[in-house]
Each structure stands twice: as structure tokens, then as C-alpha cells.
Amino acid sequence: MVKYLGVTEGLIYLPGQRSAAWEDSDQEKPFRQLRYFYYITGVDFPDSIVTYNIKSDELSLWILPPNSGSSVIFNGQVPTVDEVKVKYDFDQVSELPNLDSYLTWYAHNEPGKIYLLHDYQAPKNIAPQRLANKDGHWTWLSVSPFDSTSLINAMNASRSIKSPHELSLIRRAISITSQAHINVLKGLHSFTHEAEIEAIFAATCISNLAKKQSYGIIAGSGSNASTLHYVANNEPLKGRQLVCLDAGVEWECYASDVTRTFPISGYYTKEAREIYEIVERMQEECIEMCTPGTNFVDVYMHAHKVAVEGLIELGILHNGTFDEIYASGVSVAFFPHGVYFPYSFVHILISILISSLVRTFRRPGSPRCSRHRLHALQKGRLSIFRNPYQYHNHPPFGNSLSEHGLYC
């Protein structure tokens, strides 16, 4: 990470997630650790802060003082300094009340900046003036000691390269997710409601000690499957042909994400099978392209080309040549989620793609790419994420397709 930051001195400051209760309640909100903090620390409990002194190569964790009384009775004891030292690999573990004085000392005595992910995370209690320890003179902070523009890019670059340990965590998450999908398929013939799909998926994960989903379980049947982030899961399956199950569990804060569309009856109709085969071809050919040095935008464009070719063959897209239909960007209507890899994101900005459906293109003759896709694949990067489905139910584009001579 420091390599990507490109400095030899400074202090990285990252707060973890704070504990919080629901409004007008004594019940705590579900805890979910902040991702960048976890990447540096591996700590999955709330109310702690990590600092890293670049020059001295010192990683320090700052935690709450020991709790007592009713807090212990209701919530148990918070980790102590000694317990954290034993479990984790920090150079220094201290209690949070000592942090403000340390940050004030650093800001007044060290030349490097204090690097933040976001402006709002800046500590509020750094004294603007301080009595120097050695000569008795006062020092003042004439400029802000904070830099909130550099760290996020450096961390994104660092996080995109996964260590063997990180890959093992991801594989564990994928293994549990795969079993959950399989268990849904095994029981689907007896299900009557979307909620049962959600329940079986969640139960499989929890029984494997994976209690946190990467995102809300999406179990959309019928037309609900055309809503990208449908999480209500509250409608019956009767009279519907397909279910889109988009769900993945986390393992130690590392996520999985698997999407599959399958027939409720156990058999695809001719039309559904034809669409499935297009998507399957898109996926297999894109995976084949993912080798070191490949420009990621080429993978993205190829997926759209396969989609357009397949939809033309089925007669869904017509009234134009392949080049004309491809250049129009109409394939985004069926393929809004696109192809991408998690450089620092879980999901791309769908609104960017929709708003640019038939208007603006990144380069002539091709569907516009999100700027987050414009990276060359490198050896060691995390695997590509691809949502293997197309949407074919009243897409939210009004008449924008027919206005360009294309009909679906």
C-alpha cells in the first residue's frame, strides 16, 4: 500500500466501524466492519482505530478501555490490550483516550501528512497549538495536517492484488455460497414462495458459521427477476416460469457473489433455453479472454458483441445490421450490470450506463464503458465478477429502443 502511496513518511489513519443502537431503542444495529480498516487490521470488532507510521513502520491499534458493570452483564467484555496483543500482529496496542495526544504530537513534530480515506474521518481533537517538549516554544499548525485524496487510490491498488490467505477466505465464502445455491435447487420443487428460497439460502450459510450476506438476498420470480436489486422476496411462485437467485455470503469480511437463473418447474422453455445459451456463451468466452495483459474494456465489449449476435439470431433485435445495432448501445438494455472486476467496488454505477444507453460512447462504434472498467488485467488480481443473466422484462428505458429503429 505504501508503495502505491508513493511517500516515505506520514501517518495512515483509519477508523473502524462504530457501534450504534437503533433510534429509540436499546438494541444495537448489526455490526459490519469497514472494509479498508479490516484490510489493514483483520480486526472484526467495533470502536477501534488503526494508525500506521510510514517512516518507522509501526502499526498501532487503538481500542476502548475495559468496560464494567451492566455493560459487561448485557454485552460481555470488550477485548483488552493484552488480549489484542496476543491475537493480532500489531507493533503497539493502546487505549483510545491516548490517541488525541499522539495525533497532536505527530501533527506538530513530524513532517509527513496524516492520510485519511475521507474528509469526514478527520480526528477532531488535534490541538492547533502545542508547547514544544525540548525548547519550551509553542508550535502552531499553519496548514491542515490531513490529506484525504491520496490514500483511497493507493489502498484500491493494493487491495486489487490478493494474497494466498485472502484467496483462501474468498474460496471459503464461495464454497458456502455454492452449497446454499445447491440446497435451494434441491428444494425448489416443493417451494411455493420467494421467501422460502431466501430462507433456505440464509439457513445454509448460517449453519456453516457464515452469518453475514455480502448483500441482500435477491430471490426474484417472474417479472421480479428483472429488477436488479429486488430484495423484497415476498411473492408466490405460482404461475411463474423462472427465478433469479442473486446471493452470496461473506467469510471473515471477504465476499462472494453468485447469480443464477433457473426454471421453477425444473425445465426451461425453448425461449428461456435460447437466452440461457447466449448468456452461457458470453460468460465462457469472457472467462477465456481473462489473461494477464488483456485490456479489460475488450472483455466488456466482447460480452456485448456476443449478446447482440445472439439476440439478432433470435430475432429479438432487428431492423439494422450487426454493426448498427451494436453501435447503438441497445445491448445495455439487456445487460446493464455489465462485466467488471472489484477494483474497489462491489457494484458498478448502473445509472451511468442507463443514462448513456443510446447517447454517449466511450469510443466510436461501441457501448459506453464505465470508467471503472478501463484497466488492464494483471497477474494476481482478483477474479472477474460477472452477472450471468440478461433482463427481458419491461426494461426502464421507455421508448428509447424503438426510437432508434430497434425493437425488443
* Beta carbons of 96 and 63 less than 8 angstroms apart: yes
* Selection from 136-150, 305-319, 361-375 with the highest mean pLDDT: 305-319
What is d(CA 49, CA 13) in angstroms, rounded to the nearest whole number? 7
Q: Where in the chain is the domain with CATH 3.40.350.10?
A: 2-158
Neighbouring residues of 25: CB distance < 8 A, sequence distance ≥ 6: none
Is 100 in a helix, a strand, or coil? helix
Q: How far is CA 88 from the centre of its chain?
A: 25
10-36 core/surface letters (b: 16 or more CB in 10 A; e: else): bbbbbbbbeeeeeeeeeeeeeeebbeb
Report residue 12: phi and psi, to 5°. -85, 130
Q: Which CATH number fits domain 2-158: 3.40.350.10, 3.20.20.140, 3.40.50.150, 3.40.50.620?
A: 3.40.350.10
Q: What are the tens digits of pLDDT across the range 219-235?
A: 999 999 989 899 999 99
pLDDT of residue 132: 62
Q: Which three cell numbers stand for residue 385?
A: 465478477
Tell me how crowded residue 363 is: count the other CB atoms within 10 A of its CB: 10
Query: Which long-range contacts link 178-184 to residues 24+ away (Cβ below 8 Å)?
Result: 178/258, 179/204, 179/208, 180/204, 180/205, 180/247, 180/249, 181/245, 181/247, 181/258, 181/260, 184/245
What is the mean predicted confidence (pLDDT) over 381-390?
Answer: 48
Measured CA to CA in angstroms, residue 204 lies from 40, 146, 174, 215, 264 at distances of 30, 45, 13, 16, 20
301 Ramachandran zone, left/alpha/beta (phi>0; psi -120 to 50): alpha
Instruction: Name the DSSP letter for residue 297.
Output: H
Is 156 in a helix, a strand, or coil? helix
The answer to whether residue 397 scores a pLDDT higher than 60 is no
pLDDT of residue 131: 58
* Beta carbons of 56 and 47 less than 8 angstroms apart: no
N residues, the chain: 408
pLDDT of residue 136: 66
* Selection from 66-75, 191-200, 294-303 with the highest mean pLDDT: 191-200
Q: How far is CA 83 from the centre of its chain?
A: 31
Instruction: Name the DSSP letter for residue 325.
Output: H
Q: Where in the chain is the domain with CATH 3.90.230.10?
A: 162-267
Q: Classify residue 98 by burial, with Cβ atoms within 10 Å: 0-12, 13-18, 19+.
A: exposed
Q: How many Cα atoms are found within 13 Å in the side-chain-facing hemisphere of 217?
A: 27
Q: What are the tens digits of pLDDT across the range 315-337?
A: 999 999 999 999 998 988 887 77
Per-residue confidence at 394, pLDDT binned at 50, 70, 90? very low
Q: Which CATH number fits domain 162-267: 3.40.50.2300, 3.40.50.170, 3.90.230.10, 3.40.640.10?
A: 3.90.230.10
pLDDT of residue 379: 53
pTM of the model: 0.82
What is d(CA 349, CA 130) in angstroms, rounded to the nearest whole number? 45
pLDDT of residue 68: 87
Write down the H helix ranges in 42-149.
70-75, 81-87, 99-109
Q: What are the tens digits of pLDDT across the range 258-316?
A: 999 999 999 999 999 999 999 999 999 998 998 888 888 899 899 999 999 999 999 99
* Beta carbons of 201 and 181 less than 8 angstroms apart: yes
What is the mean predicted confidence (pLDDT) over 238-254?
Answer: 96
Helix axes 270-289, 296-313, angle to 10 degrees: 160
Lowest-pLDDT range of 70-84, 133-147, 162-176, 237-251: 133-147
